[in-house]
Amino acid sequence: MGDLVPLPRPAHRAPAPQRPEPLWREVVGRELRAERRRQDRTLADVAGDAGISVQYLSEVERGLKEPSSEILGAVHGALGLRLVELTGRVSRALRPSGPVALAA
């Protein structure tokens, strides 16, 4: 028998780089910060009303800390938000902006 000749491989395209999905804590932090700024309130003001330190609230807003449900409740309460409002905003922020292709 003769030598085997390899068949050419089909051109393989690397998938387009996708931006990684943000962490939940990052989106929650952005939403809390946006609401605080909409209300023209300081970190110290909201932290004081929530009963937490300014440093901790700052870290939550920057997405560096994963707040417990108690802390989250204190902060959204200090901002006059209901939990359903906050989670709705977070859900909308996480929703894909373009078409979504689902594989079967």
Q: What's the CATH code of the domain at 44? A: 1.10.260.40
Position 95 scores a pLDDT of 84
Q: Establish if 4 belongs to a structural domain.
A: no
Q: Alpha carbon of 47 to those of 59, 83, 85, 87: distances in Å?
A: 12, 17, 20, 20
Q: Which domain holds residue 83?
A: 24-91
Number of H helices, E strands in the chain: 5, 0
Q: Establish if 43 belongs to a structural domain.
A: yes
Residues 29-55 have pLDDT tens digits of 999 999 999 999 999 999 999 999 999
- Length, in residues, of the chain: 104
This prediction has a pTM of 0.74
Specify the number of domains making up the chain: 1
Q: Establish if 31 belongs to a structural domain.
A: yes
